[in-house]
Amino acid sequence: MIAATGIGWRIGGARILEEISLEVGAGELLGIIGPNGAGKSSLVNILSGVTRPTQGRVTLKDEDVTRLSSTRRARQGLARSFQTSALFDGLSARENVRLAIQAAGAAPFSPFRAASGTGAETIELLLARVRMPGKGETMARDLSHGDRRKLELAMALASQPSVLLLDEPMAGVSAEDVDGLTEIIGEVRDSGVAVAMVEHHMHVVLGLADRVAVLHHGQLLAIGSPSEVTSDDRVQQAYLGEAL
Ligand SMILES: Nc1ncnc2c1ncn2[C@@H]1O[C@H](COP(=O)(O)OP(=O)(O)OP(=O)(O)O)[C@@H](O)[C@H]1O
């Protein structure tokens, strides 16, 4: 569904990524792990079109999108979440989702959609999908950290993407919310979406991912099933001292 081939990225003389090749298929979840500064966010930025690589190419549904903007990629079915919150704090959860739907072009703006019709139904479905039914009226600023993360997921899903890129979707949330988010993301994958997820919660990645890519110093150290990568000597070396 999405593939990176021979990706390299240099900036200001620094070599951030080198020869990264990987792909994520429909209904597959690829976990992307690696020590701090390994290049995980840079890779997600390149996959989503925020950053253009200096080498290699990105294909989305077999089409070369390397030179396409993130907006064009979004129209072709790619959605992503960011490490930092992308919510409008002064709007309700429902209004945030409504804006995401409108931005995705899935529902042209209509003042009448608020009261009835598919717009309102879609919003409620998305809120239910992230286990937030009944929280539509809550202002984003009043939501718990975990609910903010769930709302961001609902917004990413508003475009009905075929590829979802998640950059640390569980950063800073409570253990209980980690479990909830894990279930939701698993369901998204099971619905056929290709999911690539950068995440520091190792037990989540190893439990949820179909395959795991390990980045280290900008290189792809290993890629394979969770058990394959955790038993890889080079991976253990990279994580020396940390529990895998
Ligand atoms: N725009 C930039 N200009 C220069 N260097 C950058 C830029 N973006 C990232 N880097 C550098 O590239 C390296 C990889 O950064 P990146 O954020 O991709 O790592 P990461 O694996 O996501 O780290 P973390 O787990 O800490 O989020 C780091 O050394 C970072 O300082």
For residues 97 and 107, the model is more confident at 97
| Ligand 1 pocket, mutate which of 11, 15, 16 (most atoms under 8 A from CB) | 16
Mean pLDDT of the chain: 90
Q: What is the DSSP string of 15-52?
A: EEEEEEEEEE-TT-EEEEE-STTSSHHHHHHHHHTSS-
The pTM of this model reads 0.90
Choose among 29, 45, 28: nearest CA to 20.
45
Q: What percent of the chain has pLDDT over 70?
A: 91
| Ligand 1 pocket, mutate which of 20, 42, 51, 170 (most atoms under 8 A from CB) | 42
Average the pLDDT over 122-132 and give the result.
Answer: 94
Which amino acid residue places its CA nearest to atom 18 of ligand 1? Answer: 39
Choose among 208, 187, 191, 188: nearest CA to 199.
208
Inform me whether the pLDDT recorded for 153 exceeds 90: yes
Inform me whether the pLDDT recorded for 112 exceeds 90: no
* pLDDT of the residue at 65: 97
Distance CA 204, CA 160 (A): 24
For residues 105 and 5, the model is more confident at 5
Which strands form 219-224's sheet, in the order they lie side by side? Answer: 78-81, 163-167, 194-198, 29-33, 211-216, 219-224
* Whether 1 contacts 163, CB under 8 Å: yes
For residues 108 and 72, the model is more confident at 72
Average the pLDDT over 31-45 and give the result.
Answer: 94
In order of their start, the domains of the chain are: 1-77+161-244 (3.40.50.300), 88-159 (no CATH)
* pLDDT of the residue at 208: 96
Inform me whether the pLDDT recorded for 69 exceeds 50: yes
* Whether 16 contacts 52, CB under 8 Å: no
3 CA from centroid of ligand 1 (Å): 21
Q: What percent of the chain has pLDDT over 90?
A: 74
Please give the DSSP secondary-structure letter assigned to residue 56: E
42 CA from centroid of ligand 1 (Å): 6
Inform me whether the pLDDT recorded for 48 exceeds 50: yes
Distance CA 93, CA 140 (A): 5
Which of 41-55, 71-85, 225-239 shows the lowest per-residue confidence on average (mean pLDDT)?
71-85
| Ligand 1 pocket, mutate which of 7, 18, 36, 41 (most atoms under 8 A from CB) | 41
* pLDDT of the residue at 3: 97
Per-residue pLDDT tens over the stretch 131-150:
998 899 999 999 999 999 99
* pLDDT of the residue at 239: 76
Average the pLDDT over 72-83 and give the result.
Answer: 86
Per-residue pLDDT tens over the stretch 165-206:
999 999 888 988 999 999 999 999 999 999 999 998 889 999
* pLDDT of the residue at 84: 62
